[in-house]
Chains A and B, each alone.
Chain A
Amino acid sequence: MCIRSRPSRWLAGLMVVLLAAISACSSGSARTPSSSGGVVHLTFWSWVPNIANAVSLFNSAHKNIQVTLDTIPTGSNGGYAKMLDAVKAGNPPCAAQVEYQEIPTFLLQNALVNIKPWVASSQSLFVPWQWNQGVYNGSVYAVPQASGPMALYYRKDVFSRDGIVTPPRTWAQYAQDAAIIHSHAPHAYITTFPVPDSAWYTALAWQAGTKWFGTSGDHWTVNIANAASQRVAGYWYGLVKKGMVKTENDFTSAWYKDLQDGGVVTWISASWGDAILRQNAPNTAGNWAVAPMPQWASSGFAASNWGGSSTAVLRGCPDPQAAAQFAVWLNTNARSINLLVTDGYGWPAVPSVSSIPSVTGNPKVFSFYGGQNINAVFQQADQNINESWGWIPNVQTTYDALDSAFASAANGNGTFASALTSAQRQTVASLSGAGLKVTSGP
């Protein structure tokens, strides 16, 4: 612009000068860390509520590494985009909050540093399946922070009112209870199938012993529509078609209201779900209890996981060793974990929780469940999670495909089982479209 008019010609000239000045300013050196007097300064990006307390704990315990926390929007709200942009621009924070399912996406962008040399010796400090979430192709890209072991939250009072003596041990019993509850009160449902929240459905399939994603040599493997996950889909499709469960989405205002007034009386959810129940429905205090997840098999026990987060080191960090050290300390130090767990962020990634006061005894939490030690249920769950589960790059594509296909099925086009087939097809197409080698099936 501004080229055709004569006076503007020198505008264009000025523009060139300005742009030259801008590019001359390009420092090229990354912002973090900088070391002064032997102290390494790192930046850490996270959105975990009150994680600042744990960071300042780290800073007071370490004289040679000082970490600055920037609280950014959650990953899906733009946080991940910010991180990847910062990596592209060459001045990323050294450490960042990355959820388990996003790690391969970050790897595809070459955004993470292999920190194996510095963290390998700490592997034994972590729950094996959580540790494996950061391991791809033999390299270690993230230190696990927290998971979401799952159980069944249920309204004890409603169950006993309707004559259900024990919480369902199997999914078959759960379906029977669904019918009983709905027949006693037409507005009441045992739960909702959150159609546009397929991360939840993924967790249920995970419990059934399936393995959707993995690697085999230099191929990604995608196996969404396998027999076990078809079975889970068929089960929920049946309940939805019979009108035994609602299809409203979770985390919406209508759903919050249903939790308060008994429109929904159970929630198959993770340990972090506790904070949501307690704060949203204080009027139901004392009426809730937590039982292990219902089972598919008549013997043995399998739980599942919903959510989970790690501390990763971003590419471009000049001192990945210090960042890795910070990541391990943040997620293994008992006092640090205690701070993180107190604020309801998730379940620790360490196997032994006996030294974490907010896990072993938390009167404020337990009293909401009539004094039940709900964490015992979650601890048992965290130790019985199918360890082989992994993720693929751009897993959001799979979620979006499932969301749309489940929605069509709920609107009468297709079934939940055919939704899996469609998500399988779209996922494979998307990965090979990105130039990756991918195998469809087990």
Chain B
Amino acid sequence: MTFLFVCTIYFVLPVYWVLVSSTKSTADLFGSFGLWFAHFRLGANLRQLFAADQGIFLRWLANSVLYAGLGAVLATVISAAAGYALAKYSFRGREAIFSVILAGVMVPPTALALPLYLMMSRAGLANSYLSVLLPSMVSPFGAYLARVYAASAVPDELIEAARIDGAGELRIFARVAAPAMTPALVTIGLFTFVGIWNNFFLPLVMLSSQNLYPVTLGLTVWEGQTYRDPSFYQLTVTGAAVSAVLLIAAVIMLQRFWRSGLTRSGLTTGALR
């Protein structure tokens, strides 16, 4: 338990710093002790945050929710289907596909940014919601994880039994396999959600209208302006705090689904042994 508490302090400390900092003035941000409150002005900071640029921050939040929410759901479904197929059907080329997926993860995103942008431009999609959403829907890591868990958590016997009962393949996937894979799906959903939310590179390259920006890109724009106008520091930090609080709330909420996943896999293990 001591170990867990020490680790909690380590992990939470920086988040705590962001929260404390969001209550300070720009001057106190640097002038006061970082881990304790100075003159408390969270209300004023929040008002400033949501009023800046005619309330653009709210728009950025909504965009992030759209990109990350829709992107994560679709990416999870797509990865789950692919991972399940790779784990539970044997066909020629299966291992090859799997290796290519793994290799895709090795390529640094810096090298892909320009080609992706040129392709999107060609297709007339640059600077649109789709230009960020479409690439976000592919998660090689998600497919990898889904395959690994489908292989272990979905018993072949269960699939065969369902087939004998006359269930179609799609139905088996949706009603038998997916529930058994729940912990993995929640994990994939969580990872892709946070990954898309924090992705900075893709929207940076694709988007130029501020109205389409997600929170991270918007905050970067503000952060760049601190060089000439330090009051943007306060906007950036308060914005980061709000963004972090929302994400952490989302993480905690998504974790609830783990429990249902647990009981289901408890049910299926009977068939496993």
Contacts and interface: CB of A to CB of B under 8 A. Distances in A.
Interface of A: 1-8, 22-23, 25-27, 43, 45, 47, 49, 70-74, 76-79, 81-82, 85-86, 88-91, 93, 251, 253, 256-257, 260-261, 272, 275-276, 279-283, 343-345
Given A26-B123, A71-B221, A2 B93 contact: yes
Nearest to B226: A251
Contacts of A275: 228-230
B93 A345 contact: no
B260 interface: no
23 contacts: A2-B93, A5-B91, A5-B92, A22-B123, A26-B124, A49-B225, A70-B208, A72-B221, A73-B220, A74-B221, A74-B225, A74-B227, A82-B205, A82-B208, A86-B121, A89-B122, A256-B31, A260-B31, A279-B229, A279-B230, A280-B27, A280-B30, A282-B27
What are the 7 tightest A-B residue pairs by CB atom distance, in nearest-first order? A4-B93, A5-B93, A74-B224, A256-B30, A89-B121, A1-B100, A26-B122
A90 B209 CA distance: 17
A85 B117 contact: yes
Contacts of A272: 228
Nearest to A89: B121
A49 B229 contact: yes
B245 interface: no
Interface string B5-39: 00000000000000000000011011100000000
Given A4-B96, A5-B94, A280-B26, A70 B210 contact: yes
B97 interface: yes
Name the residue among A1, A7, A276 with the largest chain B CB count within 10 angstroms. A1
Nearest to B26: A279
Contact of B31 (A5, A77, A261): A261
A85 B205 contact: yes
B126 A281 contact: no
Nearest to A276: B230
B118 interface: yes
Given A45-B208, A73-B224, A279 B231 contact: yes
Nearest to A282: B27
Contacts of B113: 85
Contacts of A2: 93, 97
A26 B231 CA distance: 43
A260 B27 CA distance: 8
B258 to A, nearest CB: 32
A27 B124 CA distance: 7
B254 interface: no
Interface residues of B, number: 41
Contacts of A5: 91-94, 96-97
Nearest to A45: B208
Interface of B: 26-27, 29-31, 91-94, 96-97, 100-101, 113-114, 117-119, 121-124, 126, 204-205, 208-210, 217, 220-221, 223-232
Nearest to B95: A4
Nearest to B98: A1
Given A1-B96, A71-B210, A90 B121 contact: yes
A1 B97 contact: yes
Contacts of B30: 253, 256-257, 260, 280
Nearest to A4: B93
A281 B220 CA distance: 23
A75 to B, nearest CB: 9
B26 A6 contact: no
Contacts of A45: 208
Most interface-central of A70, A282, A345 (chain B CB within 10 A): A70
A73 B221 CA distance: 4
A49 B228 contact: yes
A344 B228 contact: yes
B26 to A, nearest CB: 6
A70 B209 contact: yes
A41 B100 CA distance: 45
Nearest to B120: A89
Contacts of B217: 73
Contacts of A71: 210, 221
Contacts of A43: 208
A257 B31 contact: yes
Contacts of A79: 224
Given A93-B208, A260-B27, A283-B27, A85 B114 contact: yes
Contacts of A91: 121, 126
A3 B93 contact: yes
Nearest to A280: B230
A377 B248 CA distance: 50
Contact of A4 (B92, B118, B122): B92
A251 B225 CA distance: 12
A82 B224 contact: no
A100 to B, nearest CB: 15
Contacts of B96: 1, 3-5
A82 B202 CA distance: 11
Contacts of A25: 122-124
B114 A88 contact: yes
Contacts of B205: 78, 81-82, 85
Most buried by B among A3, A25, A49: A49
Contacts of B119: 22
B208 A47 contact: no
A237 B237 CA distance: 36
Contacts of B126: 89, 91
Contacts of B227: 74, 251
B93 A8 contact: yes
Contacts of A23: 122
Given A27-B124, A70-B208, 14 more contacts: A2-B93, A3-B93, A4-B96, A6-B91, A26-B123, A71-B210, A71-B221, A82-B205, A85-B205, A88-B114, A251-B227, A256-B30, A256-B31, A344-B228
A280 B126 CA distance: 38
Nearest to A74: B224
> B26, B121, B217: which has the most chain A beta carbons within 10 Å?
B121
Nearest to A284: B27
B125 to A, nearest CB: 9
B18 to A, nearest CB: 14
A256 B230 CA distance: 10
Contacts of A251: 226-227
